[in-house]
Amino acid sequence: MKRAILGAFANHMTAPDLRWMPDEGFTFTRLRIELLSGLTVALALVPEAVAFAFVAGVHPLVGLYAAFLVGLITALIGGRPGMISGATGALAVVMVALVAQHGVEYLFATVVLMGLLQIFFGAMHWGKFIRLVPHPVMLGFVNGLAIVIFLAQLTQFKVPGTVVSDGHGMTGGEWLTGMPMVLMLILVGCTMAIIWVTPRITKVIPAPLAGIGIVAAVVIAFGLDVPRVGDLASIQGGLPTWHIPTVPLNWATFQIILPYAVILAAIGLIESLLTLNLVGEMTNKRGGASQECIAQGIANTVTGFFGGMGGCAMIGQSMINVKSGGRTRIAGIAAAIFLLLFIVAGSSIIELIPLAALVGVMFMVVIGTFAWNSLRILRRVPKMDAFVIILVTVVTVYSDLAVAVVVGVIVSALAYAWNNARRIHAIERPSSTSEGAKVYEIQGPLFFGSSDGFIELFNIEDDPKEVIVDFAQSRVVDQSALQAIEAVAGKYEDAGKRIQLRHLSRDCHQLLTNAGHLMVDSDDDPDYEIAVDYQVRTGILGGH
């Protein structure tokens, strides 16, 4: 197992996605764009990391260290250059119960185990299963996440210090009133306007950074009394230090942290892989799922040993990075380094930035993230797809991303199974090779959903003595299909009639042979260039 994991890790680490510059090569302009994009992302990471630390019930530095370490490591070896990772709310809401019951040291141990599980998932190439997520689920995920980001920013319109965590997010608190609320709204609107107009004037500086810088300069210059980053909490601290979680190394501890680690690993990978796909669509890049799983796992394992709360991909900050021009690993690395500099040396400056400027940036992210075209196509797509889009959006808002995606995939799979189950039918005709025989040409897949419909296709009482069932346009998929064939064959046998199966594919032939239900009645053509007949023998089926 160790050799397999190391081999998979080595294969992924030599993947072509590990590049530092885009295809056009290194230029000063590209470097400037990447660094400024990283600075913009770092500024947006500060309030998010602090807020999610509060949600989890840990010190703000625990969230900031996680944002730095997870962001740095995934930027170095992740599956998609341009993605940003850090402490997220989806993980924080799971952590709060663990911290409340057992303390922060158990959280650190859980994050280490979470990372090891993610490395294992990546080594086993399980990240490829993200391709099973249908497009309607992706649309619902994006829309729901945009709404979640929007709702999360509303807490910044409340009086600092009055907002608390209820275990599911930030809640409570008194709303700003009077001039503070008016000023807050004006500054948010100004930030959004600056972000909108800047690209039309110049592309020298990323629009979000311009919005933050101009609004912050106005607030500081005029001494406006508005909520600032420092009102959330002090972000001043030192470098993260090596820290082995102080928990008992016994079976009881493992039983405590394993359930949380599994849930956190699953949520983190689902959110990361969906973000990877979304960023891939925007940058025209594909692949890297297993590599991203391994990178997330290494990042969380290291973070757990440095006093961080763990994390995963952040779609909001990833959108800021991509839309600011960040396309390579340099932007993500720069964001992590800038964040560390804020903590170690620049806290006094960063704490002066008005929250309104950061809220304005996130509101623009919401506008850019929400799939507005999905509102237009709801009436055009199949009703089930429209239902899945709405369902995933609602579940994302009222529960969490992982649950929403799982629900969406299950509903889509059931809908697909139902639609395929309705496709089963048969074309009846006389046989051209056996005089007096009747042929049933089966159309559509034969599986658990269509097995009952398959049985109902046959008119056993009125059929002739010999019946041929042709599967050229069908496919036997599972055990339920085998059971259905057995049931039909048994009924014909009881009626004293003979049944043959034709045009079964190689894998269907193998299924039937392995099941011991049918025996070959004619020479088997290994290339299946001619029809292959199978005859049911007395005593083979159903104990007859």
For range 181-198, the mean pLDDT:
95
Provide the domain count of the chain: 2
pLDDT digits (tens, 9 = 90+) for 428-480: 999 887 788 999 999 999 989 999 999 999 999 999 999 999 888 888 888 88
Do 237 and 64 contact (CB within 8 A), yes or no?
yes
Q: What is the pLDDT of residue 521?
A: 40
For range 86-91, the mean pLDDT:
89
Dihedral in degrees, nearest 10, Cα atoms 105, 148, 268, 86: -60
Same structural domain for residues 277 and 378?
yes
Same structural domain for residues 39 and 162?
yes
Q: What is the pLDDT of residue 17?
A: 47
For range 202-212, the mean pLDDT:
91
Residues 6+ apart with CB under 8 A from 387: 411
Spatial separation of the C-alpha atoms in residues 56 and 65, rounded to whole Å:
14
For range 190-211, the mean pLDDT:
93
Same structural domain for residues 43 and 186?
yes
pLDDT band at 51 (very low <50, low <70, confident <90, very high): confident
pLDDT band at 13 (very low <50, low <70, confident <90, very high): very low
Same structural domain for residues 352 and 467?
no
Q: What is the pLDDT of residue 23?
A: 57
Which amino acid is residue 443, in one-letter code?
Q
Domain boundary among 328, 361, 386: 386
Same structural domain for residues 374 and 483?
no
pLDDT digits (tens, 9 = 90+) for 234-244: 899 999 999 99
Is the model's pLDDT at 282 over the cut of 90? no
Is the model's pLDDT at 8 over the cut of 70? no
For range 181-192, the mean pLDDT:
95
For range 118-127, the mean pLDDT:
93
C-alpha gyration radius of the chain: 30
Please measure the distance between the N-terminal and C-terminal CA atoms of the chain and give it in whole angstroms.
47
pLDDT digits (tens, 9 = 90+) for 297-345: 999 999 999 999 999 999 889 999 998 989 889 999 999 999 999 999 9
Same structural domain for residues 377 and 266?
yes
Q: What is the pLDDT of residue 356?
A: 94
Q: Residue 450 domain-assigned?
A: yes
pLDDT band at 398 (very low <50, low <70, confident <90, very high): confident
Spatial separation of the C-alpha atoms in residues 209 and 35, rounded to whole Å:
11
How many alpha carbons lie under 13 Å from residue 67 in its C-beta half-sphere? 36
Same structural domain for residues 378 and 461?
no
Three-state secondary-structure class, residue 443 = strand
Do 288 and 17 contact (CB within 8 A), yes or no?
yes
Q: Residue 304 domain-assigned?
A: yes
User: Which CATH number belongs to the domain containing residue 510 in this structure?
Assistant: 3.30.750.24
pLDDT band at 542 (very low <50, low <70, confident <90, very high): very low
Q: What is the pLDDT of residue 160?
A: 72
Is the model's pLDDT at 28 over the cut of 90? no
Q: Residue 418 domain-assigned?
A: no
For range 65-79, the mean pLDDT:
95
Q: Which residue from 291, 384, 307 is spatially nearest to 112, judged by alpha carbons?
A: 307
Least confident piece of the model among 205-214, 471-480, 534-543: 534-543
Do 426 and 457 contact (CB within 8 A), yes or no?
yes
Q: What is the pLDDT of residue 312?
A: 94
Q: Residue 346 domain-assigned?
A: yes
Least confident piece of the model among 182-191, 373-382, 384-393: 373-382
Is the model's pLDDT at 512 over the cut of 50? yes
Is the model's pLDDT at 221 over the cut of 80? yes
Q: Which residue from 439, 485, 494, 422 is spatially nearest to 461, judged by alpha carbons?
A: 494
- Share above pLDDT 90 across residues of the chain, in percent, rounded to a whole number: 49
Same structural domain for residues 259 and 379?
yes
Same structural domain for residues 478 and 359?
no
Least confident piece of the model among 249-253, 396-400, 428-432: 396-400
Same structural domain for residues 364 and 438?
no
Is the model's pLDDT at 511 over the cut of 50? yes
Do 312 and 401 contact (CB within 8 A), yes or no?
no
Q: What is the pLDDT of residue 540?
A: 35
Is the model's pLDDT at 201 over the cut of 80? yes
pLDDT band at 172 (very low <50, low <70, confident <90, very high): low
User: Which is more confident, 453 or 509?
Assistant: 453
What tokens were used for 387? 């239902």
For range 47-52, the mean pLDDT:
88
Q: Residue 395 domain-assigned?
A: no
Is the model's pLDDT at 219 over the cut of 80? yes
Tokens 């040409």 found at: 441
Q: What is the pLDDT of residue 169?
A: 57
For range 8-25, the mean pLDDT:
47
Domain boundary among 386, 417, 435: 386
What tokens were used for 133? 């997520």
CA 201 to chain centre: 36
User: Which is more confident, 72 or 526?
Assistant: 72
For range 286-296, the mean pLDDT:
89
Same structural domain for residues 170 and 240?
yes
Q: What is the pLDDT of residue 379?
A: 87
Range of the domain at 270: 2-14+28-386
Q: What is the pLDDT of residue 164?
A: 60
Q: Residue 71 domain-assigned?
A: yes
Same structural domain for residues 429 and 364?
no
Average pLDDT value for the chain? 85
Q: Residue 239 domain-assigned?
A: yes
Residues 306-336: b if buried by 16+ CB within 10 A, e if exposed? bbbbbbbbbbbbbbbbbbbbbbbbbbbbbbb
Q: Residue 472 domain-assigned?
A: yes
